[in-house]
Amino acid sequence: MTEQITLRAPDDWHIHLRDGAALERTVPDAARQFRRAIVMPNLVPPVTDAESATAYKERICAQIPAGTPFEPLMVIYLTDKTDAAIIRQAHAAGIIAAKLYPAGATTNSDSGVTDITNIYSALEEMQTCGMKLLVHGEVTTSDIDIFDREHVFIEKTLSRLVDDFPTLKVVFEHITTAQAAEFVQGAREGVAATITAHHLLYNRNHMLVGGIQPHFYCLPILKRGYHQNALIEAATSGNPKFFLGTDSAPHARHKKEHACGCAGCYTAYSAIELYAEVFERAGKLDKLEGFASEFGPDFYELPRNQDTITLAKSPWTLPEKLAMGGENLIPLAAGETLNWQLV
């Protein structure tokens, strides 16, 4: 008989669904395996308040396949102009978090925050009402090497932020370094991190040896194998401060395979199977359920899902390409064989 594992149904605590025709691709892919997903607000223009987040949620919900349980959890994008009133309205409208993009750090972050002290009144209000802060943790100054931007952000910004707002719940999103894993392990209660499948499966050699591989290009950028190993250790440790966030971020093929290619890996098509691969290789399949399905809702103070999913050890090959709004989209690990498949 085929080997199988059954888990409490998982959620994705960091995903990019985009907008318009892309939603026909991204929403069903996410809903295939996840019951809830935290939807990133870096649209053009960004989702900066309750009204735009509520309208965006409706556009997402219109693409949920009939009969599939899926709930998008909405987030607003912090700008230099976000004040306490915007936070209060967002909280009242059921927005569970706000996202800090340092201006210029990543895709569609031009409207992001130029100086963290500009949002101190917003952070104060978030701490009071219990809204979570999600952080793209990289410095952006040109003197800092791209491979060092995350760990310098911890020293320059994040450690002070978690001290200045001692009860604010903070998620250090898509961590990529040993320093970030160590920081979160040692941080106060209420500080957690998401980890992507691609940062667990790959390191910078996969992206740069034997020809440049644009489909591995994402931000924060893939680091050395040493950092990859530290992330695997953290994700499979059973420490509830680390949980699943795919950072699945679709960009059409022609925008990835370009002289100035976009950052982002599309993993939503097969995310849970990619994570299963990592946990199996580490000999820690028993730790997948906590990471994928329990620690996230516990952190967000939401109920754990009550239903289950089953993965079978039945090798299958990922498609070479997918369609997204009339364009081609290359899923991460396109054409590769995965051991585990969602039943």
- The residues annotated as belonging to the active site are 247
* Strand ranges of the sheet holding 191-195, from the earlier edge strand across to the other edge: 12-15, 36-39, 71-77, 97-100, 132-135, 170-172, 191-195, 242-244
Q: Which is nearer to ligand NCD, 173 or 289 (CB)?
A: 173
Q: Binding to ligand NCD by residue 16, rule CB under 6 A? A: yes
Exactly one of 35, 91, 136, 256 binds ligand NCD (CB under 6 A); that residue is 136
3-state secondary structure 132-173: EEEECCCCCCCCCCHHHHHHHHHHHHHHHHHHHCCCCCEEEC
- The annotation places the binding site for substrate at 16-18, 42, 136, 219, 251, 263
- Shorter beta-carbon distance to ligand NCD: residue 7 or 324: 324
Annotated binding residues for Zn(2+), written as ranges, equal 14, 16, 99, 136, 174, 247
Angstrom distance (rounded) from CA 17 to CA 325: 12
Q: Are 220 and 176 in contact (CB under 8 A)?
A: yes
Contact segment (CB under 5 A) with Zn ion among 136-144, 184-192, 229-237, 292-300 equals 136-144
Distance CA 235, CA 275 (A): 10
263 contributes a contact to ligand NCD by CB under 6 A: yes
Q: What distance in Å separates the CA atoms of residue 340 and residue 315, rounded to the nearest whole number? A: 6
CB of 318 to Zn ion, least distance (A): 21
Among 193, 218, 311, 333, binds ligand NCD (CB under 6 A): 218
- Residue 89's contacts (CB-CB under 8 Å, 6 or more residues apart) are 49, 50
Angle between helices 50-61 and 23-33 (to 10 degrees): 80
Asked whether the beta carbons of 16 and 49 are under 8 A apart, the reply is no
**Is 106 among the residues that bind ligand NCD (CB under 6 A)?**
yes
In angstroms, what is the minimal distance from the CB of 225 to ligand NCD? 20
End-to-end CA distance of the chain: 14
| Residue 42 near ligand NCD by CB under 6 A | yes
248/270 with CB nearer Zn ion: 248
| Torsion, Cα of 88, 89, 92, 95 (10° steps) | -100
Which H or E run includes 299?
A: helix 295-300
* Residue 12 lies near ligand NCD (rule: CB under 6 A): no
For residue 219, state whether it binds ligand NCD (rule: CB under 6 A).
yes
> CB under 5 A: which stretch of 1-9, 23-31, 131-139, 297-305 binds Zn ion?
131-139
Known binding site: residues?
A: 14, 16-18, 42, 99, 136, 174, 219, 247, 251, 263
Per the CB < 8 A criterion, the answer to whether 144 and 153 are in contact is: no
Closest distance of CB 68 from ligand NCD, Å: 24
Q: How far apart are CA 259 and CA 241, in angstroms?
A: 38
Compute how many other C-beta atoms are within 10 angstroms of the C-beta atom of residue 189: 9
Q: By rule CB under 6 A, what count of residues binds ligand NCD?
A: 11
Tell me if 106 contacts Zn ion by CB under 5 A: yes
- Residue 302 binds ligand NCD, judged by CB under 6 A: no
Q: How far is the CB of 107 from ligand NCD (least distance, A)?
A: 3
Q: How far is the CB of 40 from Zn ion (least distance, A)?
A: 5
- Which neighbouring-strand residues pair with 135? 100, 172
Which residues would be at the binding site for Zn ion (CB under 5 A)?
106, 136, 247
Which residues would be at the binding site for ligand NCD (CB under 6 A)?
16, 42, 106-107, 136, 218-219, 247, 249, 263-264
